[in-house]
Amino acid sequence: MPRIFVLRRGIAAVSALILCSGLSGCAIGFNAGTSTQKASGNGANVDLGALQIRGITIVTAPDGTTRATLIGTIVNGGPDDALVSVNVLKPQGSTVTLGGASAMSGTLPLPTSSATRLGYEGTNHADFVGLKVDTSAYVDIELVFQNSGRIPMHVLTVAPIGIYANIAPLS
C-alpha cells in the first residue's frame, strides 16, 4: 500500500474523531444542557428530612375544566407528621383541598414508617380548583407539613390519558 494512501487514511480518521467530538456537544463546558437540566417531566422527587416525596405529578380533570389532582407518594421514615396544605405558587389563583379516606380536619396524616399515596390507587387526594394551566406545563407548588416544614416543587401537568386515565379529583 502506498505511503501517501496510509497517511491520507490516518489524517481522515483523526479529523473524523475531532469533528465528532466537536459536533456531539460533549465539550461545551459547565453550561452544557446535560449539566443544567431541570426536574424531569413525569414524577418530581424531593426529600425533606425523614420524608421522601416521590412521583409527584398533577393530572388535569378529564372534563377539561380548571380542576386537577396531585398524584404521588409520601414516605415517612421519621416520627408522625401530616400534610397540612398544598400551596400553588405559580400560576397563582387556584386553591387546593386535601381530602379522602385518611383526611382529618383538612390534613392528611403521615404515620411513622408509612407510605401515603395521593390520587393514583389511593383514597387520599390533594385537589386543585381554578388551576389555569396547559397540559405539559409546569406548576410551582409548595407542600406544607405539620412538623417537617415546607418544600417547594416544580411539577408537570398531564392529561388524564394512558396511565393517567381514570384519575380525577374527588369532586
**pLDDT single digits (tens) 39-83:** 555 688 999 999 999 999 999 998 878 999 999 999 999 999 999
Say how far residue 141 (Cα) sits from the centre of its chain: 11
Say if residue 6 is in the same domain as residue 73: no
Say if residue 80 is in the same domain as residue 110: yes
pLDDT at 31 over 70: no
CA separation, residue 41 to residues 88, 123, 137 (Å): 18, 24, 9
Say if residue 154 is in the same domain as residue 125: yes
**What ranges make up the beta strands (E) of the chain?**
44-48, 51-60, 68-76, 81-90, 95-100, 108-110, 114-118, 124-129, 138-145, 149-158
Confidence of residue 30 (pLDDT cuts 50, 70, 90): low
Whether omega for the bond prior to residue 91 falls within 30 degrees of 0, making it cis, is yes
Say if residue 60 is in the same domain as residue 81: yes
The structure's pTM equals 0.75
pLDDT of 18 reads: 67
Say if residue 14 is in the same domain as residue 30: yes
Q: How many residues in the chain?
A: 171
Say if residue 62 is in the same domain as residue 95: yes
Number of domains in the chain: 2
Say if residue 49 is in the same domain as residue 98: yes
Give pLDDT tens digits for 7-18: 677 677 667 666
Say if residue 28 is in the same domain as residue 111: no
For residue 75 the three cell numbers come to 414516605
| Domain that residue 136 falls in | 44-164
Say if residue 159 is in the same domain as residue 89: yes
Average pLDDT, integer, range 77-105: 93
Say if residue 24 is in the same domain as residue 51: no
Q: Distance between CA 35 and CA 55 in Å, rounded? A: 22
How much is the mean pLDDT over the chain? 85
Q: Is residue 25 part of a domain?
A: yes
